[in-house]
Structure 1
Amino acid sequence: MHGAVAIVANHRGELLMHLRDAYPHIAWPAHWSLLGGQSEFDEKPIDTIVRELQEEAGLQVESLTELFDIHDVDGSKQLVTFFSSIWEGDVSDLVLTEGVKLQFFDPAYLRNLVIPPFIRDGIHRYLTIRTLPQPSHS
């Protein structure tokens, strides 16, 4: 099994986090995570994340960068491909169809959230390699 998640950041460097439902039958119930999910059939990870962003939140991003894979050994048991993107929209405009809430957080605040270990690892890896958009000087 394979999955895909997206680290979506805004120009301030805040990350979009997704509070998962508390259903006991899902992986990582009531945890803050990233938008994403499981691949269907022979779907490529890029197609999975585009579909999942649309299905879970009505979110369409302009571009996605494939980052790395991490194995979720404690939850879904899937190999998960991480992607990154920049999105400058308003979270209140998104239509959440899965989970409880979407919210942007400053990365320093993430230590206060309950996050699956593999997601926390992926975010940490992302933060060490990311480059923030530079403000334009007109």
Structure 2
Amino acid sequence: MTVSEPRTSGAAKGTGVAVLITNSQGEYLLHLRDDIEGICWPGYWALVGGSPEPGEPLADAIARELKEETGLTIALEEFATVAQRGAEDLGKGPIAVYQGHWDGDAHALPLTEGVMLHWFPVTTIPRLRVPPWCREVIGLHRAR
């Protein structure tokens, strides 16, 4: 897996989008994905995200996915691009990761996909079933 440094100009490149959301306590908002066949990372805790529609700018795609899946509309900025590797990632392209900040009750969000949203301190994340690309992005975020 390769994680690029954040971009400061130009559009992020990716075939998928995800958002790294933190709160004032330094916790990360993770999404428990449905454990059903046919989706990426079934039964894993992951960042909220999805795929852009044909011709849709990545920044618009992540804002749409975030709104559709959680009801949230928050300010987002480019963070990094992740090149996926591993069995679950075969045939998948890079993910453009954006970051945002929100202080709120994750369980009160109107979740439309997956099982639940939950805030996790970084110390708990190693004990969760999390895709390697998410772990890498969180590690990069923590290093800054």
Q: Normalized against structure 2, the TM-score is what? A: 0.84
Letter matched to residue 51 of structure 1:
R
Letter matched to residue 19 of structure 1:
L
Counterparts of 1:41 and 1:16, CA distance in 2: 27
Letter matched to residue 125 of structure 1:
L
Report how many residues are paired: 128
Letter matched to residue 44 of structure 1:
P
Cα offset, 1:69, TM superposition: 0.4
Which residue of structure 2 aligns with residue 21 of structure 1? Answer: 34
CA RMSD of aligned residues (A): 1.2
Cα offset, 1:9, TM superposition: 0.5
Which residue of structure 2 aligns with residue 133 of structure 1? Answer: none
**Pairing of 1:28-47 with structure 2 (within 5 A):** 28-47=41-60
Letter matched to residue 9 of structure 1:
T
Residues 51-71 of structure 1: per-residue CA shift (max 9 Å, x gap):
00011111111x112011012
Which residue of structure 2 aligns with residue 124 of structure 1? Answer: 139
1:114 corresponds to which of 97, 112, 129: 129
Counterparts of 2:109 and 2:94, CA distance in 1: 27
Conservation of the 8 A alpha-carbon contact between 2:107 and 2:116: no
For the residue of structure 1 that corresponds to 2:129, the secondary structure is coil
State whether structure 2 residue 65 is matched by structure 1 residue 65: no
Counterparts of 1:105 and 1:68, CA distance in 2: 21
Residues 22-45 of structure 1: per-residue CA shift (max 9 Å, x gap):
012111100000001011101111
**Which runs of 5 or more structure 2 residues have no equivalent in the other structure?**
1-13
State whether structure 2 residue 18 is matched by structure 1 residue 5: yes
Residues 61-110 of structure 1: per-residue CA shift (max 9 Å, x gap):
1x112011012233351210111111012113211110001000001110
Which residue of structure 2 aligns with residue 135 of structure 1? Answer: none
State whether structure 2 residue 97 is matched by structure 1 residue 82: yes
Q: Normalized against structure 1, the TM-score is what? A: 0.88
For the residue of structure 2 that corresponds to 1:23, the secondary structure is coil
- Percent identity over the alignment is 36
For the residue of structure 2 that corresponds to 1:4, the secondary structure is strand
Cα offset, 1:124, TM superposition: 0.8
For the residue of structure 1 that corresponds to 2:137, the secondary structure is helix
